[in-house]
Structure 1
Amino acid sequence: MLQDAADRHRLGAYLRDRRQRLDAAALGFDGRRRTPGLRREEVAQRAHISTTWYTWLEQGRGGAPSPRVLDSLARALMLTEAEREHLYLVGIGHRPKAGAPAQEGISGRLQRFLDAMPMIPATVATATWDIIGWNRAARLALADYEAMAPDERNILRRIFLDPATRAAQSDWEAVARFLVATFRAETVRAGADARASVLVAELSARSADFARLWSENDVRTTGEGAKTIRHARVGEITFEFSSFAIDGRPDLRLMAYVPATAGDLDKMSRLCSEV
């Protein structure tokens, strides 16, 4: 009981501290107030919970909040992923599931990191292979993600359902087999089974090749390897690719494609300078 009370006190203190750090005027509230930050009722409003319930949480009353409430509070308090994880740990004693991030997309800092590699195509993908971040080199060499609707940026859909993407692969079977095996492993690791099952059902119905490869139950890690694509303007380009985890976002993976030879680098240089 004493430990429970201490845990509730830590949660309340953390909520109060984060609440007092927010800029009321910037969030559309009256900025004239005696104390810094938002009022309790304003946080409750942003989190879509009752003011009474939020007040109890800050006062260490009312029991442990649900994951849904913690996620609502994380959004209301504009927490980073690390802060959201801490909220879960002090609130209910364990980390949030990786498959339910508090924020969508990638941070500005990560985008600037991608943009700092002008000759190296780089993308950021979810566990279900939705591309949510890319740099200019990736757009020129791999695909024009900016011109696509979000659901068209899914790599599995492109590989199995788009004839142009299929034709651009020098060894389509190897690429498809690799993607299906890593998809199976990543979705389980990241807790994205529910989202994956919808995509699996769609692709199984629309692609006999996907259904065949999925039935083999292969599992692989993303790791690293080589990939050759046929580009319409500069011909074949071979890349050595590497996969990187993103700290604080276990649901995401960064892929960097380094030109394999001096000749491949020259092709990338010509490709990037043409546009």
Structure 2
Amino acid sequence: MNTPRSLGDFLRSRRTRLDPASFGFTGRRRTPGLRREEVAQRASISPTWYTWLEQGRGGAPSPDVLDRIAGALLLTDTEREHLFMLGLGRPPEVRYQSVAGVNPRLQRLLDSLEASPAIIKTATWDVVAWNRAAAVVLTDYGALPPGQRNILKFLFRHPAVRAKQHDWENVARFVVGAFRADVARAGIVSEAADLVDELCSASPEFEALWRDNDVLGHSDVHAVKRLQHPLLGAVELEYSAFAVDGRPDLGMIVYTPLDAEVAGRIKTLAAGEQARSA
């Protein structure tokens, strides 16, 4: 159970683990770590207010105060989230980070799905990682410059991608609604404005869907993607969306073939792609 004392105990434990000398604080000390007034100084808050927080007094702190204390105590992202849960009973708002790729552990997870196309996307629906099955079934993302690996651009600006969709209108409506929700959740509405303007200028259909203001999630639609693939023919893929641990601004989508024969053929195509790139 979260109590003011729980918050105070956590703050005290983090404070006493820090080395004063590394922050330029000198002088003899009776106890390890930073003093309360030193944490308050680093966080630009009142020493009295910080002392009250450690003592379980003074009421709930503001998100801004917690953010400054997290910075002053050099908290990790996990510790920062725990601090907010103790202080406010909720996690902090997502801090959007620009992403160029993913760590090797996550890439290995994608690569282990030999028959299931899988991608990692950002809140603006830029694809930053994929497996070989995704390259042969969805799009060869590696053949495109990073700035063009965007799902909305594929869908609204590339006729070949549009032609592969079994029901392009419903797919497009879902993608725009889910994109709107992801952008708002990540707190990057202004950062996404240039992409929205670009798509509105390039596609009247995107502009019309954007004006509708629909907000959608994966639970709002039937989770089966149907494609007309040039080599595989008609393909049905059941898709699932997952959050990436520690990175709420990223999402993983896995497309699982509903037909065992199709799964085998995807695996064969992906293996051929691997051999060509080796």
SS of 2:129 mapped into structure 1: strand
| Structure 2 counterpart of 1:161, from 142, 157, 160 | 157
Task: Tell me, yes or no, if structure 1 residue 184 matches structure 2 residue 167.
Answer: no
Indicate the residue corresponding to 1:39 in structure 2.
22
| Structure 1 counterpart of 2:210, from 210, 214, 223 | 214
CA distance in 1 between partners of 2:140 and 2:230 (Å): 13
| Structure 2 counterpart of 1:152, from 148, 153, 168 | 148
Return the letter of the residue paired with 1:254. Answer: M
SS of 1:129 mapped into structure 2: coil
Q: Answer yes or no: is the 8 Å Cα contact 1:70–1:87 preserved in 2.
A: no
Higher mean Cα deviation, 136-145 or 201-210?
136-145
CA distance in 2 between partners of 1:6 and 1:226 (Å): 45
CA distance in 1 between partners of 2:227 and 2:206 (Å): 20
Whose Rg is larger? 2
Task: Tell me, yes or no, if structure 1 residue 273 matches structure 2 residue 256.
Answer: no
CA distance in 2 between partners of 1:239 and 1:178 (Å): 16
CA distance in 1 between partners of 2:157 and 2:256 (Å): 26
CA distance in 2 between partners of 1:5 and 1:125 (Å): 40
Provide the identity percentage.
Answer: 36
SS of 2:227 mapped into structure 1: strand
Q: 1:257 to 1:73 in 2, by over 3 A?
A: farther
Q: CA RMSD in A?
A: 3.9
Q: 1:59 to 1:192 in 2, by over 3 A?
A: closer
Return the letter of the residue paired with 2:158. Answer: D
Indicate the residue corresponding to 2:110 in structure 1.
114
Q: 1:62 to 1:212 in 2, by over 3 A?
A: closer
- Matches of residues 98-109 of structure 1 in structure 2 within 5 Å? 98=94, 100-101=95-96, 104=99, 105-109=101-105
Task: Tell me, yes or no, if structure 1 residue 130 matches structure 2 residue 96.
Answer: no
Q: Answer yes or no: is the 8 Å Cα contact 2:225–2:239 preserved in 1.
A: yes
Structure 1 gap ranges (5+):
21-34, 42-53
CA distance in 2 between partners of 1:153 and 1:211 (Å): 20
Q: Answer yes or no: is the 8 Å Cα contact 2:243–2:250 preserved in 1.
A: yes
Aligned residue pairs: how many?
244
- Displacement of 1:142: 1.2
Report the TM-score, using the length of structure 1 for normalisation.
0.70
Return the letter of the residue paired with 1:202. Answer: E
SS of 2:241 mapped into structure 1: strand
Return the letter of the residue paired with 1:234. Answer: L
| Structure 1 counterpart of 2:248, from 250, 257, 260 | 250
Note the alpha carbon deviations across 1:101-121, whole angstroms, 9 max, x for none: 468443433222222211111
Q: 1:257 to 1:244 in 2, by over 3 A?
A: same
Report the TM-score, using the length of structure 2 for normalisation.
0.69
